[in-house]
Chain A
Amino acid sequence: MEPAVRDAGVEGERTSRAPGKRSWDEPLSWLVVGRTPLASHLLLSPASLWVLVLLVSPVTLLTLLSFAKIGAYGRILWSFSLANFGQIMRPAYLWVIGRTLVYAGATALICLLLGFPAAYYVAFAADSKRKHLLLFALMLPFWTSALVAIYCWLIVLGREGLINALMLRLGILSTPFSFLNTPFSVILGLVYFYLPYMVLPLYAALEKIPRTLIEASHDLGAGGLKTFLRVILPLSWPGVASGAILIFVPCLGDFLTAEFLGGPRTYLLGNLIDNQFLAAQNWPLGAALTVLLMGMLMSGLYFYGRVEVEETSRV
C-alpha cells in the first residue's frame, strides 16, 4: 500500500536502450516526451512545485516562526528569539515530550509483540488463497479513518460500554470500571490503529525469506526454535525496523487518540501543538514544538537509515 520510499536510484540502471536511437525532429517532442534533462525537470515541475510550495515552504515557515514572539491576541512578531525553545525545555513540557516518547515506544513494542505472530501466521501458516483476504482484512480498519477506530473503543470501553456490561453481568465487577481516560485506553487506541503498520512490513520481510533456507536449517538438524531464532528472526529484522519506525513517527504527532480516549494525565506532544495553535493562540510556541517533533523524527529516520545500511552491507 505504501509506495516505496527509497528506490529512486534503482530503475536508472534498468534504462537499457541506447540514447540517440531516435531522431528528435518533432518540434514539441522535447517538451512533451523529450529526454533532455531540461524536459525532465519541466515535466516534473508541476508536482515538485506543489510539494515545494505546500510542504517545504510551510515547514520552513514553521521553523522561522519558532523564533518569533507573540503580540496582542497572538499576533506574530517576527524576531530571532530562543525564548520558545527555552520554554519547551522547562520540566512541565519535557514531561509531555518524555511521555510522548514513552507512549510511542510502547505502542511500537506492543505492536511488534502482537504483530509478529500475526505476520508469521499470514506468511507461513495461511494458504495462499486466504493470504490476500487476510491482508485485505488487515488494512480495512486502517482505511476507515482513525476517528472510527477511536469511536469504536469509546463504545467498547466506556462505563456503559460493552466490556463493563459483560463483566457486570458475569459478576466479575460489582461497579463499572473506568477504562477510559487512562494511559491504558490511549495506548490501546494507538496500538489498534497502528497495528497494520507493523504487520505489513513484517509480512513483507517474512515472505521474502526463501523457504529452502528454512528447510536447509531443519536438514542441518536445527530444531524449530533454533531455526526461528537463528534464521527467521534475523532475516525479519528489516521488517521490524520499518514497522517500528512507521509506528513511532506518526505516534509522536498523534493527538486524536489522547483527545478522545485520554485524560488529564495523558496529554501528548500532538495535543500540545494542537492546543498552542488552536486554543492558546501561541503559534510561535506551537511552531517550536513542531520543530522539536521534526527533530525527533529526523533522528529516528537517521537511525533507521543507519540500520538499513548496516543490514544491506551485511547481507
Chain B
Amino acid sequence: MSDGMTRREFLKLALLSAVSPRLLAACSGRSKPSVNFFNWSTYIAKDTLPDFTRDTGIKVNYNVYADEEEMFAKLRSGAMSYDVIVGTDYMIDRLRSFNIIAPIPPGALKNRKNIMPIFRHPAYDPKGEYTAAYLWGTSGIGYNKNKIPKPPDSWRDLWSERYAGKISMLDNARDCVSLGLLLEGYPETTTDEKAYEKVKHLLIKQKPLVRSYTSSNYVDDLISGETWISMAWSGDILQALKENPELDYVIPREGSYRWVDNLCLVRGAPHPEDALRLMDYLLQGKVAADIANTVRYASPNAAALPYLNPKLLKDPRAYPPPSVEKRLRFHAELDPVTVQLWDETWSEVKVS
C-alpha cells in the first residue's frame, strides 16, 4: 500500500481491487504486472524469462530451490507469495493435500494440448487438473569413463567392492528406496514390512562402500575423481558432458524410473492471470524446446519436437529409444502410509 493513503481511500481501493486484481497491483506501486515463479535451480534456459517479459510486459520474479523436501517443509507453514511452482510427481499429492496448489481453470492453458498424451493424465493427477508437465528425466548411473572403462550395466555395480569409497548415491528416499524395491522385486506401492526390511538391509550393506549421499554436487565429484560412479539424474550428467566428455550415463539393465516435473498454480496466487500466461508461455513448443535443449532433460511437449537439438534428440541417454523405454516405468502414486514407510526406511539407512 502506498504511503499517505487515507483509510477511506484504502477501503475504496480494496473494494475496487476485489473486482480487479490488476488495479491492486497498479496501486501498490508496481506499474508493471509481475509473476513470482519458483523452480528447481538450473532448470530453465537463459533467455526464457527475459523473452517472456519482452513479449508480454510481465516481469518475472524468479527464485530457485535445490531441495524439494526442504521446500515442502517450508511451504507447510503456509507462507506463499508465489504464483507458479515446479513440483515433482510424488510431491503433487502432498502439495494438494496441504492446499498449496490449486486446480488450473479448465481451458486456461491453450498450449496444454502440446503435452504428449502419456504425460497428460499421469497417476499423480489423473484428470490433469493440477499440473502441466514441464520436463521429465530418468534416474540411472553416471560414471567417469577414465576410471571405469567398461560401462556399468547393472545397478549392482553400485554395490561393487571394486568401487569401494568411490560411489555416491542420491540423497532422497524417493530414488533410493524405489531402487531397493526394484532390485528386491517388489512394487513401489507395497506395504509389506518384509519388503522394507530387505530394502533397508540392501542399502545398509552398500553403505560402507558409499562415499557420500548427495543429490546436488555428485557431478562435481565425478569430474574431480572424488567418486567414480554415482546414482544420477540424466540431465545433470548430460549438462556436464558438454565440458567433461569423460562422463557418461547409463540406464541399467534392471530398468529404472522416470519422473516428471510439473508446473503448478499456487492456491491464492497473488497474480493468477499472469501466472497462467507464464505457464502457457512455457508450454509453447519453441520455448519448451529451448529449455530442454539447455537443461538436457527430456521435454514432454510434442510441439517442442521440431525445435529440439537433433543430436540431443537422438541421444539415447536423454530420449531413451523404445528398447530402453520399455525398461522404464513411471513412479507409482503412493498413499501417505506408504510414503511414511519409505521415509522411515530411508531415515534408518541414513542413521545406521
Contacts and interface: CB of A to CB of B under 8 A. Distances in A.
Interface of A: 70-74, 92-93, 95-96, 158-160, 176, 178, 180-181, 263-265, 267, 271-272, 275-282
Nearest to B337: A72
A123 B337 CA distance: 61
Contacts of A74: 76, 340
B69 A279 contact: yes
B112 interface: no
Interface centre among B173, B213, B339, B350 (most CB of A within 10 A): B350
Given A95-B351, A160-B224, A265 B70 contact: no
A281 B343 contact: yes
A265 B76 CA distance: 31
Contact of A159 (B207, B224, B343, B344): B224
A275 B211 contact: no
B72 A281 contact: yes
Interface residues of B, number: 34
B118 interface: no
A159 B226 contact: yes
9 contacts: A72-B337, A73-B97, A73-B336, A159-B225, A264-B211, A265-B207, A272-B350, A277-B73, A278-B70
B347 interface: yes
Given A72-B97, A178-B165, A282-B343, A92 B210 contact: no
B226 A279 contact: no
B82 to A, nearest CB: 19
Contacts of B98: 73
A263 B169 CA distance: 11
B71 to A, nearest CB: 9
B94 interface: yes
Contacts of B70: 278-279
B339 A73 contact: yes
Given A95-B351, A159-B224, A159-B225, A280 B346 contact: yes
Contacts of B348: 92
A285 to B, nearest CB: 8
A2 B213 CA distance: 37
A178 B211 contact: yes
Q: Chain B binding site: helix, strand, loop or mixed by DSSP?
A: helix
B352 interface: yes
Contacts of A277: 73
A95 B350 CA distance: 12
Contacts of A73: 93-94, 97-98, 336, 339
A47 to B, nearest CB: 26
Contacts of A267: 350-351
B172 interface: yes
A280 B347 contact: yes
Interface string B329-340: 000000011011
Nearest to B214: A259
A290 B94 CA distance: 26
B211 A181 contact: yes
A189 to B, nearest CB: 15
Closest 10 pairs between A and B when the two form their complex, measured CB to CB: A72-B336, A279-B69, A280-B343, A92-B352, A278-B70, A278-B73, A92-B351, A73-B94, A160-B224, A159-B226
Contacts of B97: 72-73
B212 interface: yes
A265 B208 CA distance: 8
Contact of A281 (B69, B210, B224): B69
Interface in B195-247: 207-208, 210-213, 224-226
Q: Which of B208, B336, B344, B351 has the most CB of A within 10 A?
A: B351
Nearest to A277: B73
